């Protein structure tokens, strides 16, 4: 009774296997996206009870913001009092007088930490009690390849194979996975909506077995343009796209048929939701655009519980000061605007934002005023229901592993707490084992 993939089993598979032609995965994916079946979804009803779970008023929502490319944690959450910081980074250490020195939240350590000067938007959220910073997050035997490390974060497996952790969570909400890999027929009473990725790609983290994620880049591009040529074709197009592949068919053809159907079915709902003007202004960046769409979808009462945005590239090997500052400014201002939007909607208490990157960067700068791939780095959680302040221990800057930080918090303990406390799931089923909570979230 576990969604955890046993890598020793023949049908455990990697992302590459999924993307290519897995015999396991697509076979079981639902032929009809769940949200087609939930009538509440078809007509957004933001005023009514929003929960898909009987007896629960409002569903909680997780918004993941991925910082791609390896965010330099030491120049994001700066241990400015540690002399090793400046010594290791003669040309790229940030001047103390420009940092946002953080106040205490009844915990030790905050006074030793300064946020990057561009993180004004985070500092405001922090001061309002809406920001939790978790220091030194990583995993054992760190992998310094972008792709391998990203797969590890996405699968929550140290070998980077298997389904995405959010995909497994969504599956756990509908289909039990009792007997064998095929699971049970979805329970119509608890039919989870698909996770939604902003952008054209679907992150591995969202790949499950029963529910196919939906992705969109922008509302303008999320409909068929043939009707602009001949209006009458709309109905015929819909019929042609509504072909169901046979249950168990895992061919590329079946996969394409399912995707075309999902696209056609979700098109109008999502466009209607995103067509609303947000209640607050957003800055002009790609990430802000993505979060503004998420805000509009939440406001429209869409029932997806996971949204996935990404920002980057943080791969700052050379002359990093300017680029890193720009990326962090975009990040902080976008998340800040997002919470203002949610607050104006009255939905802020329903949403937690989680920011992570596949790894941090080396303690010492390189010869090109940049930093190379490293290991542990901070994570951020936002929202009124987080325990504000600094969590976890900052790794030592002198006791290093080959020039890299030693992690102090396993990222899966953060996932576990989000699953157990926030998403009403059993983290042990999803992650394969239990992890101690850091108590970064307040109990409901």
Angstrom distance (rounded) from CA 221 to CA 258: 19
Q: At its nearest, how many Å lie between other proteins and the CB of residue 224?
A: 6
Give whichever of 104 and 244 is closer to other proteins, judged by the CB atom: 244
* List of residues contacting other proteins (CB under 8 A): 13-14, 16-21, 145-148, 197, 199-202, 213-218, 220-226, 228-230, 233, 236-237, 239-241, 243, 246, 248-249, 251-257, 259-260, 262-263, 266-267, 317-318, 366-368, 372
Instruction: Give the phi and the psi of residue 272 in degrees, each rounded to 5.
Output: -60, -40
Angstrom distance (rounded) from CA 193 to CA 211: 8
Angstrom distance (rounded) from CA 308 to CA 201: 10
Q: At its nearest, how many Å lie between other proteins and the CB of residue 363?
A: 15
Give whichever of 144 and 437 is closer to other proteins, judged by the CB atom: 144
Q: At its nearest, how many Å lie between other proteins and the CB of residue 406?
A: 18
Give me the sign of the Cα torsion angle 160, 163, 169, 170.
Answer: positive
Angstrom distance (rounded) from CA 29 to CA 248: 9
Q: At its nearest, how many Å lie between other proteins and the CB of residue 249?
A: 5
Give whichever of 54 and 229 is closer to other proteins, judged by the CB atom: 229
Give whichever of 93 and 148 is closer to other proteins, judged by the CB atom: 148
Give whichever of 234 and 393 is closer to other proteins, judged by the CB atom: 234
Q: At its nearest, how many Å lie between other proteins and the CB of residue 47?
A: 28
Cβ burial, residue 43 (10 Å; 0-12/13-18/19+): exposed
Q: At its nearest, how many Å lie between other proteins and the CB of residue 37?
A: 17
Q: At its nearest, how many Å lie between other proteins and the CB of residue 166?
A: 16
Query: For residue 294, what are the CA distances in angstroms to 207, 366, 388?
Result: 19, 38, 23
Angstrom distance (rounded) from CA 156 to CA 150: 10
- The H or E element containing residue 147 is helix 146-155
User: What does the longest C-alpha to C-alpha distance in the chain come to?
Assistant: 71
Give whichever of 105 and 224 is closer to other proteins, judged by the CB atom: 224
Give whichever of 124 and 217 is closer to other proteins, judged by the CB atom: 217
Cβ burial, residue 248 (10 Å; 0-12/13-18/19+): exposed
Asked if 305 contacts 423 with a C-beta cutoff of 8 angstroms, the reply is yes
Give whichever of 362 and 394 is closer to other proteins, judged by the CB atom: 362
Angstrom distance (rounded) from CA 203 to CA 310: 10
Q: At its nearest, how many Å lie between other proteins and the CB of residue 364?
A: 11
Residue with tokens 């996770």: 195
Based on DSSP, count helices (H) and strands (E) in the chain, helices before strands: 15, 12
Q: At its nearest, how many Å lie between other proteins and the CB of residue 251?
A: 6
Angstrom distance (rounded) from CA 183 to CA 177: 4
Asked if 101 contacts 114 with a C-beta cutoff of 8 angstroms, the reply is yes
Give whichever of 84 and 323 is closer to other proteins, judged by the CB atom: 323
Q: Compute the half-sphere exposure of residue 25: CA atoms within 13 Å on the CB side of its CA.
A: 26
The token duo for 248 is: 């168990």
Give whichever of 267 and 413 is closer to other proteins, judged by the CB atom: 267
Q: At its nearest, how many Å lie between other proteins and the CB of residue 125?
A: 30
């Amino acid at each position: 009774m576990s969604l955890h993939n046993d890598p020793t089993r023949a049908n455990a598979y990697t992302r590459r296997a999924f993307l290519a032609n897995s015999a396991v995965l697509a076979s079981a994916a639902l032929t009809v996206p769940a949200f087609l079946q939930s009538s509440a979804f078809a007509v957004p009803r933001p005023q009514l009870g929003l929960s898909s779970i009987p007896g629960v008023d409002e569903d909680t929502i997780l918004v993941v913001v991925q910082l791609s490319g390896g965010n330099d944690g030491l120049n994001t959450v700066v241990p400015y009092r540690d002399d090793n910081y400046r010594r290791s980074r003669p040309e790229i250490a940030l001047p103390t007088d420009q940092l946002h020195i953080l106040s205490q939240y009844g915990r030790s350590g905050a006074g030793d930490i300064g946020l990057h000067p561009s993180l004004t938007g985070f500092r405001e959220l922090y001061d309002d009690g809406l920001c939790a910073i978790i220091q030194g997050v990583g995993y054992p035997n760190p992998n310094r390849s972008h792709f391998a490390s990203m797969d590890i974060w996405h699968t929550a497996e140290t070998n980077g194979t298997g389904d995405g952790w959010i995909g497994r969570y969504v599956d756990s909400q509908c289909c039990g996975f009792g007997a064998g890999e095929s699971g049970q027929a979805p329970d119509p009473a608890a039919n989870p909506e698909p996770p939604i990725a902003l952008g054209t790609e679907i992150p591995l983290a969202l790949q499950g077995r029963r529910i196919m994620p939906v992705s969109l880049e922008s509302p303008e591009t999320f409909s068929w343009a043939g009707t602009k040529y001949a209006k009458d074709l709309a109905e015929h197009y819909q019929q042609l796209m509504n072909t169901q592949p046979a249950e168990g068919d895992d061919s590329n053809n079946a996969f394409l048929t399912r995707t075309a159907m999902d696209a056609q079915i979700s098109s109008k709902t999502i466009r209607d939701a995103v067509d609303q003007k947000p209640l607050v202004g957003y800055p002009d960046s790609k990430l802000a655009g993505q979060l503004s769409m998420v805000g509009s979808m939440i406001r429209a009462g869409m029932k997806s519980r996971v949204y996935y945005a990404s920002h980057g590239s943080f791969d700052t090997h050379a002359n990093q000061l300017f680029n890193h500052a720009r990326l962090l400014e975009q990040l902080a201002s976008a998340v800040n605007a997002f919470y203002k939007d949610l607050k104006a909607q009255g939905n802020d208490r329903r949403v937690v934002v989680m920011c992570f990157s596949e790894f941090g960067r080396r303690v010492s700068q390189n010869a090109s005023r940049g930093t190379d791939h490293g290991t542990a780095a901070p994570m951020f959680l936002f929202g009124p229901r987080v325990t504000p302040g600094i969590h976890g221990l900052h790794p030592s800057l002198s006791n290093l592993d080959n020039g890299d930080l030693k992690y102090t918090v396993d990222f899966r303990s953060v996932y576990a707490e989000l699953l157990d406390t926030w998403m009403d799931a059993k983290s042990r089923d999803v992650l394969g084992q239990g992890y101690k909570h850091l108590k970064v979230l307040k109990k409901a």
